[in-house]
Structure 1
């Protein structure tokens, strides 16, 4: 029993000695990839933000308590749909009073009309003077003007009472509610915000020195990436004004109809006219390690050791993925992360 144990211990020691004294070139048996950068000729990448072409902060035109709020954030609404209703009882009563004043004015106008007709007949028969006829004509015109004024006032009161029902100006999506039922709405105070999802664009800030070159390439299609989805846009413009602080100009890229995105989302764009091309780094997708939120690769050093290093990646293109930061050209990475994780 003692001899068997000694023999097993000797064999174990011999195996450990062999592994410890293994030649350094054994690390080369691990499949690796040498990182290199590539140039995307004639294009440069820029970070941008998705924004809505039509985004409206809906506010009240009159003061009143919010009595109904039939929408919530995220709801899709149609043009003319009720968004909020304010307490309009006082306004409706004023509109009713104005309507009654119109009836009074019309009755006075009718009396004046009959009177001027009689005065004209009497004047034709030479029973009254010209002065009497002129007075009747003046009273008729006064009554007519008063009736028109009362009618306009009644229409204005009715229009103002309509302001207490706030409606959607176009088809859109509600993104934010600024009031709750019972709050006091005031003229100019935001009630809610909505945008039109059918018209979206990407805003990109580029150096002022690139503006002229970009304006000469407005007919060139550009590529936009939003949430991993690559889109080709054909309509874009360079705004004429530059920011006095950052010395950048804004490039607006119209997204094609049907693009699904949320205003405020991150977008990556590739614009023409990059000086010498934009340097980009790609690695095989199978070399990437993803554990929950961590994305990393095994970097193989000169001594053959594989160390895990976190990287920031961009969009995938076929069987390759773009690395934005974390590794440098010339470094070697392991193509088999599982094999690299087992190495000392």
Structure 2
């Protein structure tokens, strides 16, 4: 019985030992210790070289001094923006514009229900007419009393009372006239007009909605007066001055352009330690309110980097590669890239100083 147990124990340990041995062989083979003397250089795809295309432009990789530019995301906004809102509570009868409409200064934006305003105006006019009549009667009484007093046919007390009554009547008439004028002005507020030439950006109300003071019906802006607003780290502000030229990039329209710093916010945002920079933009086709852009600033010291043309980079899904030139042969090598500097891009790994690549890898696709 003990002999059988010994055999069982021996076989029990043989199985894990064999599995460990097989695993070690697999690891040694993967590392190149077994199965061959050649090792693959990291980043290089093992494949047969392809011949160098005729007329292909070769680019020699070299370390270059870069400005270490940082990109800060911002939003395009119009400098001139107006919220068109009523000055009173009223029901909206009609909204004559929609987002995207171009309007001229003085164009009708919306009309409000003016029945309450018209009733108030009529009441104010009636009150004014009554006060004017009373002032006229009091003026006539005042004139007669002056004549009687001069003839010593009226007492001083009656004279003073007539004078005071006439003065009060004239004051009431003047107050009623002011109220009527105010009612007339408010009656004109039932129509909302465009304050300048521009474009309707947003519409917040529809016919039947209740309009209230300060509650915008539409948002209007000037599309030709645009700025890029970006929040940048406060430590970069030492190099930013009003009027200084900067570079802005818009990936949506594939454009980079020169602009100028137009405004620097005076305060630092306490949560993010950033400050708002506003950059005046030139007229550019396709640029619109709300688009994203990038403000490029050099906030750090210059540094050395490997830069290659963007046209040299091939994209395989999330992977990037270049065509490395070795003599008259071309091999594919995977790389990892970093920042972009105009038409060049930084290589973080996969290439060495002095190597040669195809300047346009599209020739080999």
Instruction: Give the TM interval when normalised to the shorter protein.
Output: 0.7 to 0.9
Which secondary structure does the structure 1 equivalent of 2:267 belong to?
strand
Q: 1:328 is matched with which residue?
A: 348
Q: Where does residue 276 of structure 1 map in the other structure?
A: 301
1:156-305 equivalent positions in 2, closer than 5 A = 156-214=182-240, 217-226=241-250, 227-256=253-282, 258-259=283-284, 261-271=287-297, 274-277=299-302, 283-284=308-309, 286-287=311-312, 298-300=321-323, 305=331
Matched, 1:52 2:93: no
Check whether the contact 2:324–2:358 (CA below 8 A) recurs between aligned residues. Answer: no
With over 3 angstroms needed to count, the CA separation of the structure-2 counterparts of 1:286 and 1:242, relative to structure 1, is closer
d(CA) in 2 for partners of 1:235, 1:247:
20
**How much has 1:175 moved relative to structure 2?**
0.9
Q: Secondary structure at the match of 1:242?
A: coil
Runs of 5+ consecutive residues of structure 2 not aligned to the other structure:
1-46
| Aligned counterpart, 1:29 | 52
Given the superposition, is the C-alpha separation of residues 281 and 198 from structure 1 closer, same or farther in structure 2, using an over 3 Å criterion? farther
Aligned to 1:11: none
8 Å contact kept, 2:312–2:362? no
- 2:117 is the counterpart of 1:97: no
What's 2:9 paired with?
A: none
For the pair shown, the structure with the greater C-alpha radius of gyration is 2
Following superposition, the deviation at residue 241 of structure 1 comes to: 0.6
3-state SS of the aligned residue for 2:348? coil
Cα distance, 1:42 vs. partner? 8.3
Instruction: String of CA shifts for 1:307-342, please: whole Å, max 9, x gaps.
Output: 789989968x6xxx2448xx536537544545533x
SS of the aligned residue for 2:271 comes to coil
Shift of the alpha carbon at 1:166? Answer: 1.5
The RMSD of aligned alpha carbons is 3.6
Deviations 1:96-130 (A, max 9, x none): 22112211111111111121112112212221111
TM-score, normalised relative to structure 2: 0.71
CA distance in structure 2 between the aligned counterparts of 1:162 and 1:172, rounded to whole angstroms: 23
List alignment gaps of at least 5 residues for structure 1: 1-23
TM-fit CA distance, 1:268: 2.2
Farther-moved stretch of structure 1 (330-339 vs 196-205) = 330-339
